[in-house]
Amino acid sequence: MLSNRATDTEKRKSLHGHWSSRMAFILAVTGSAVGLGNIWKFPYVAGQNGGGAFVLVYLLCVAIIGMPVMMSEILIGRRGRRNPIATMALLGEEEGKSRHWQWVGGMGVIGGILILSYYSVIGGWTLSYVFKSVAGTFSGAGAADVTAARDSFLGNWLAIGSFHTVFMLLTVFVVARGVERGLEQAVRFMVPALLLLMLVLLGYSINSGYFGEGLAFMFTPDFSKLTWDSVLAAMGQAFFTLSIGMGSVMAYGAYLPEETSITKSSAAVAMADTSIAILAGLVIFPLVFANGLDPADGPGLVFITLPLAFGQMSGGVFFSTIFFILLSFAAWTSAISLMEPAVAWVVEHRHKSRELAAMTIGLIIWVLGVGTVLSFNVLSEFKFLKGTIFENLDHLTINIMLPLGGLLIAVFAGWVLCRNSTADELRYAGTAFKLWRVLVRYVAPIGILFVFLKSVGLLPDLS
């Protein structure tokens, strides 16, 4: 029976084609992982949650929960070779368990749509700063000027709405053409270029005179500032930045060639992604302190600190333009992966063309995105539960749906798939495999559940 299954999987092909090489896959997943989460989100959530202790918890979550869950997603994807919904139904059945696991895939598809609805708005914001940079808006600007520029952009729903529209059109365009074409080239050039420019910025922030303060803020853990809510935020951030918990990586895994090592690919992606986030923090916090800004300022943090830095350096217009172009690219390659599970599902399940599927899903996401567009201006006072529409979407997806998705994916890989199936995909059965299995069977599910229950106050304090 088991050996039959193995040959079945070997023959199974994805409808959407396969990555041309191991490198192409690593680049695509890196393109998905590296995005606004690293450069826009990481610094501001770390800032809001007090710095050091948050960063430490985040790194721990990446290592002991994020990595194993990422490996699980890739191996599930490759074994099923379909969209996340169909893959989980198929594997659930094949292992003699239940087809109902498809609902986990379904939650992921919805999660991706919800995340992209606001991700696209921030992506559009990034795009608009390319134009502001070219126009020299930031040249010689002070803190008051860049803050005013940000506020006038956010206050103008037509401007944000237009850039949100452009960003969605760009995303639909690539997804409609198929993930392999174009994406590989874009990422191959974008990730190294982004890294290089971050290093230029790092040089600048080292010279800002406040590098020590930035370093201390990021790496001196003050556990008194750590609440269970910030632990949950750190865990959510780990999921978000690695693109896991909703099937993006699972969808990409479905196109992975048989011989590629899942462990090595995951490690490479996690390393690249974490380095870029840490680098972003090292660039931004010294600038925050040098300019007397508040690290807990929120979603506008990068859009204030970086223009300020660019405005004061020589060649600032050039660097600033390139930087926002690269960041838009990074956001674009992430957005594509947020849409892929839904589009793959529509293509496979509804037998629609890729173009039509991408346009339909794109339209739904665009409409939802209008809610976020308006939460920065017209509806900024319209608050419920966690705040504005944007804040609610952000909380629902990152702090609830992704950890829950990650928990269920870990349970699926650790308990539903039998030992042989996973050993077969991971191509080994030694100590590293045992470690992975302990992490997905016990550490990840219990850890996620614990943080979850703690943050909603369902577990009492021991002290």
Phi, psi of 387 (to 5 degrees): 130, -135
Pull the structure tokens for residue 83.
């969209």
Task: Identify the residue among 117, 243, 320, 399 touching ligand TRP (CB under 6 A).
Answer: 243
Token couple for 158: 């037509």
Residue nearest ligand TRP, Cβ-based: 37
**Residue 280 sits in the site that holds ligand TRP (CB under 6 A):** no
Q: How far is the CB of 248 from ligand TRP (least distance, A)?
A: 4
Task: Please report whether residue 287 would count as binding ligand TRP according to CB under 6 A.
Answer: no
- Which residue's CB is nearer to ligand TRP, number 168 or number 317? 168
Nearer to ligand TRP, 38 or 455 (CB): 38
- How open is the CA angle 111-234-76, to the nearest 5 degrees? 45
171 near ligand TRP, judged by CB under 6 A: no
Cβ 38 to ligand TRP shortest distance, Å: 5
SS3 (DSSP) at 387: strand
35 binds ligand TRP (CB under 6 A): yes
Return the number of the residue (147 or 243) whose C-beta is nearest ligand TRP.
243
Q: Judged by CB under 6 A, does residue 31 bind ligand TRP?
A: no
Residue 271: partners with Cβ closer than 8 Å, 6 or more residues away: none
Figure out which of the listed residues 46, 179, 246, 358 binds ligand TRP, where binding follows CB under 6 A.
246
CB of residue 318 to ligand TRP, shortest distance in Å: 25
**Please, what is the end-to-end C-alpha distance for the chain in angstroms?**
52
Per-residue tokens: 259: 């011989």
Query: Of 31, 37, 47, 371, which lies in the binding site for ligand TRP, with binding defined by CB under 6 A?
Result: 37
Say how far apart CA 188 and CA 193 lie, in whole Å: 9
- To ligand TRP, the closest distance from the beta carbon of 409 in angstroms equals 11
Give dist(CA 436, CA 459) in Å, integer. Answer: 27
CA 348, CA 73: separation in Å to the nearest integer? Answer: 19
* Shortest reach from residue 358's CB to ligand TRP, in Å: 16
Residue in the block written with tokens 């750590």: 226
Is residue 248 near ligand TRP by the rule CB under 6 A?
Answer: yes
Minimum CB distance to ligand TRP smaller for 273 or for 425: 273
CB of 240 to ligand TRP, least distance (A): 5
**Nearest distance, CB of residue 55 and ligand TRP, angstroms:** 16
| Helix, strand, coil percentages, rounded to 5, for the chain | 80, 0, 20
Considering only residues 373 to 432 of the shown chain, the ones binding ligand TRP according to CB under 6 A are: 402
Among residues 270 and 317, whose Cβ is nearest to ligand TRP? 270
CA–CA separation, 312 vs 2, rounded Å?
64
Cα–Cα distance between 226 and 222 in angstroms, integer? 7
Residue whose token pair is 């985040």: 58
Q: Which of residues 317-376 bind ligand TRP (CB under 6 A)?
A: 334, 337-338
CB of 404 to ligand TRP, least distance (A): 13
What tokens appear for 65 in the block? 């929960």
CA 195 to chain centre: 17
Q: At its nearest, how many Å lie between ligand TRP and the CB of residue 394?
A: 11
User: Which candidate, 128, 148, 133, places its Cα nearest to that of 315?
Assistant: 133
Residue 236 falls in which region: left (phi positive, over 0), alpha (psi -120 to 50) or beta? alpha
Is 26 a residue that touches ligand TRP (CB under 6 A)?
no
| Shorter beta-carbon distance to ligand TRP: residue 251 or 317 | 251
Residue 460 sits at φ, ψ, to 5 deg, of -75, 155
Contact set for ligand TRP, span 92-131 (CB under 6 A): 115
Query: What is the smallest separation between the CB atom of 241 and ligand TRP, expressed in angstroms?
Result: 4
CA 390 to chain centre: 16
Name the residue among 337, 333, 273, 334 with its Cα closest to residue 74: 337
Output 115 or 309, the one with its CB closest to ligand TRP.
Answer: 115
**Smallest separation, CB 402 to ligand TRP (Å):** 6
Does 36 engage in binding with ligand TRP (CB under 6 A)? Answer: yes
Cβ-based nearer residue to ligand TRP, 38 or 375: 38
Q: Give the binding site for ligand TRP (CB under 6 A).
A: 32-33, 35-38, 115, 240-241, 243, 245-246, 248, 334, 337-338, 402
